[in-house]
Amino acid sequence: MALMADTTHAGQVVADTLHAGAHGAAAGGHGEHGGGNIFAELLHHLNDAPRLETPFGYIPLPQFPPVQIGGLTLDLSITKHVVFLWLAAVLLILSATLVSRSVRRREVPSGFSNMIEAVIVFVRDDIAVANMGTGGLRYMPYLLTTFFFILLMNLMGLIPYGASATGNLNVTAGLAIIAFFMIQGAAIKSQGLGHFLAHLTGGVHWSLWPIMIPIEILGLFTKAFALCIRLFANMTGGHIVIVSLIGLIFLFKSYIIAILPAGFVVGIMFLELFVAFLQAYIFTMLTALFMGLGMQQEGHGSHEEHGASA
């Protein structure tokens, strides 16, 4: 079903683009002006917007005046990416509830519940335990929520008239901020606040602390920054490739050559389906890895105690 949705969405993008090209050519008259309109129509698929696209036209979304908090201006208006973020959250809650009830009724899960159980076991064994040890089991609810939430948001961009909320830097930044607090919280919980602050010195002589401490603090933030940019760039990159391929139709100004770019677009859409799963895995795995690095002091302590008792 997901592959069929990819193909349908790719065909819809091509159809919308051809329609935009005809409209731009009629309105723009000569070459360069019409081309600018065409590429503007193409690029708007990548941007957030205060409306939803439907087969019957645009649906405007509620807009609110900006809120001033001190010197900070907050725009709380509802946009396309916000709607699909909410939709992913609702689908996640409903799916988790249905699977939970199904497992309670049956000792052996089947169908959709069996598939979800396989993913949960994978996250537990190959992400949580592999990177954090058995201590990572207590963080399974967060890791599972992160994985499925990002996956659903990624897949939303592959359905016709859909949008990937993870293609918005604000969304990936929010996920990275949550990951940042989870990483530091796991380290403090396992090491204790004293040991956590002590590791910021890097174990060097006190005279080098003015250099080492800012570097270590910067390192804490770069992990979350890398998570933010990695997810955003990968989810945006595929759509930019699609726009570039479709743009070849108008670059050559021939409908005949449209067959080849359209075929490549369908191929890229299938690749985007794989990337949707891959990026959800990478974000979750790296978060677990960074949490495990902060928890390693706990593991060293347990090994030392075991050796002393032996």
Residues 79-89 pLDDT 10s: 999 999 999 99
Question: What is the DSSP pairing of strand 67-69 with strand 57-60?
Answer: unpaired
- Dihedral (CA of 260, 162, 225, 96) sign: negative
Report how far residue 76's alpha carbon sits from residue 49's, in angstroms, rounded to the nearest whole number. Answer: 13
Say if residue 2's pLDDT is above 70: no
Confidence class of residue 127 from pLDDT cuts 50, 70 and 90?
very high
Q: Residue 49: how many CA atoms within 13 Å on its side-chain side?
A: 16
Nearest to 284 by CA among 134, 138, 124: 124
Domain limits for position 26: 2-309
- Please state the domain count of the chain: 1
Percentage of the chain exceeding pLDDT 70: 80
| SS3 call for 54 | strand
Report how far residue 132's alpha carbon sits from residue 35's, in angstroms, rounded to the nearest whole number. Answer: 53
Nearest to 177 by CA among 236, 123, 220: 220
* pLDDT score recorded for residue 218: 92
